[in-house]
Amino acid sequence: MATDIPQPTDSAVRAALATVNDPEIHRPITDLGMVKSVEIAQDGSVTVGIYLTVQGCPMRETIHSSVVTAVRSVPGVSEVHVELDVMSDAQRKELATTLRGGQAEREVPFAQPGSLTRVYCVASGKGGVGKSSVTVNLAAALAARGQKVGVVDADIYGHSVPRMLGTDGRPTQVENMIMPPSAHGVKVISIGMFTPGNAPVVWRGPMLHRALQQFLADVYWGDLDVLLLDLPPGTGDIAISVAQLVPNAEILVVTTPQQAAAEVAERAGSIAVQTHQKIVGVVENMSGLPCPHCDEMVDVFGSGGGQRVADGLTKTTGAEVPVLGSIPIDVRLREGGDEGKPVVLSDPDSPAGAALLKIADALGGRQRGLSGLSLGITPRNKF
């Protein structure tokens, strides 16, 4: 007895295509104007035309396979063919306008009324205290908790975030918008993605400001819950530019236990008094070395530096600055940074992993405080 095979319909095929997200923009291709055509033959074969945003799109194979899988699931489809085309200049401009939600170009979405994205500037007084390691692991931990997270590698001269997150992807440009690559569920942008090899960046202040402005305004971040900025050490041009571009950003100070590092870290955090920013807390890194033969902690770099910084900043700012956590010395934290596998994901039960997860939970559970509300910051941004 013959079985009637249903004929696939145009609406059913387009409904299936609506389940396919662009891998860079993370929105349905049907919403982005990427579906060029749908043709259904009598034998049930379907030919779908797809617009790529740019020629040589790095995600073309991913899009192709996702479209085939989605359309093949429609009852009655016998075969799927995908024809890839490229958007015209006019179509790209229309897409950019759609993604910006009608906002003007060059605006930083996180500083606009309507943004609920929490912005944290991870700062330190000295280099080498593990600021980037803290940034990367907090980002990965928050993303693993289900939050939408982005990282700006604002340490232009000493960029290291892409390696630590394990991404070697290159940003894609659509008109004047930059689509950031992602790793471990974290969107990331870094000047290292635009420089050849390990070439140094030799820029003065105005160029640093311009680069940071582009990272904040020209990158399509989408609807973020948290944005982390890995700042260069000290209180130089980038720290001042961040205060100008994202005045509602809060500062997270990273230090190590020794007195010399604590004094410089307190100095770096004190910039909040001049920039009218809030200090969310202090993280003490390299707080001690767990003895491999007993339960004792060896204070390789001394002790108490994090609390000294917190006490000093509380006195300077007149607002309570807590110590959010202390991270012990752990070889797995270093290995994770070298291998692009954050320890909070690769070994969350390790001493460093557990400490970082606790700090991430403290940050992830925060709501924007009165300082943010006084700036008129309410619902989350729509970029």
Is 131 annotated as contributing to ligand binding? yes
62 close to 76: Cβ distance less than 8 angstroms: no
Residue with tokens 């001493």: 351
By CB atoms closer than 10 A (0-12, 13-18, 19+), residue 206 is: exposed
Taking 90 as the threshold, does the pLDDT of residue 211 lie above it? no
pLDDT at 74 over 80: yes
Residue pointed to by tokens 């941004």: 381
Read off the pTM.
0.73
Distance separating alpha carbons of residues 380 and 225, to the nearest angstrom: 8
Q: Is the pLDDT of residue 383 over 60?
A: no
What is the residue whose two structure tokens read 């891998």?
A: 23
**Whether the predicted pLDDT of 379 surpasses 50:** no
Query: What pLDDT score does 151 carry?
Result: 96
* Residue of higher predicted confidence among 49 and 372: 49
What pLDDT is recorded for position 101?
Answer: 66
Helix (H) or strand (E) holding 28: none
Single out the residue of 170, 317, 154 nearest to residue 227, CA to CA: 154
Beta strands in the chain (DSSP E): 35-40, 45-52, 79-86, 118-123, 149-153, 172-174, 177-179, 182-183, 186-190, 226-230, 250-255, 278-285, 289-290, 297-298, 323-327
Give the list of residues 6+ apart from residue 366 with CB closer than 8 angstroms, or none: 118, 280
pLDDT in tens, 308-325: 999 999 998 888 999 999
Which CATH class name applies to 109-373?
A: alpha beta
Copy the structure tokens of residue 220. Answer: 């399509």
**Res 374: pLDDT:** 29
Beta strand 45-52 pairing with 35-40: antiparallel
Angular region, 43: left φ>0, alpha ψ -120 to 50, beta rest: alpha
132 labelled as ligand-binding?
yes
Query: Domain 10-87 classified CATH 3.30.300.130?
Result: yes
- The answer to whether residues 235 and 100 touch, using CB atoms and an 8 Å cutoff, is no
Q: How far is CA 26 from CA 32, 214, 219, in A?
A: 10, 21, 14
Q: What's residue 70's pLDDT?
A: 94
What are the start-end ranges of the H helices in 223-288? 237-245, 259-269, 271-275
Domain chopping of the chain, boundaries:
10-87, 109-373
Name which residue leads in pLDDT, 341 or 301. 341
Question: For position 370, what pLDDT does the model report?
Answer: 33
Token pair belonging to 77: 């489809």
- Who has greater pLDDT, 40 or 382? 40
Strand ranges across the sheet with 226-230: 182-183, 186-190, 149-153, 226-230, 118-123, 250-255, 278-285, 323-327
127 is in an annotated binding site: yes
Of 99, 92, 20, 95, nearest to 59 by C-alpha is: 20
Region 296-318 average pLDDT = 86
Annotated binding residue 125: yes
Across the chain, what does the average pLDDT equal? 85
Sign of the CA dihedral running 159, 162, 165, 171: positive
- CA end-to-end span of the chain: 56
Task: Say whether 44 counts as a known binding-site residue.
Answer: no
Q: Please tell me which residue, 149 or 128, carries the higher pLDDT value.
A: 149
Given this model, what pLDDT does residue 373 score? Answer: 30
Overall residue count recorded for the chain in this entry: 383
3-state secondary structure of 42: coil
128 labelled binding-site residue: yes
CA angle 8, 11, 15 (to 5 degrees): 100
What is the pLDDT confidence band of residue 336, given thresholds at 50, 70 and 90? very high
pLDDT digit string (tens) for 268-290? Answer: 788 888 888 899 999 999 998 87
Nearest to 34 by CA among 23, 42, 43: 23
C-alpha to C-alpha distance for 288 and 98, rounded to whole angstroms: 50
Burial 119-148 (b: 16+ CB within 10 A, else e): bbbbbbbbeebbbbbbbbbbbbbbbbbebb
Asked if residue 81 lies in contact with residue 48, where contact means CB atoms within 8 angstroms, the answer is: yes
In this structure, the strands spanning 226-230 and 250-255 are unpaired
Candidates 304, 249, 260; CA nearest to 282 is 304
Residue range 178-202, pLDDT digits in tens: 889 999 999 999 988 887 777 677 6
Beta-strand relationship, 297-298 and 323-327 = unpaired
Q: Is 104's pLDDT higher than 80?
A: no
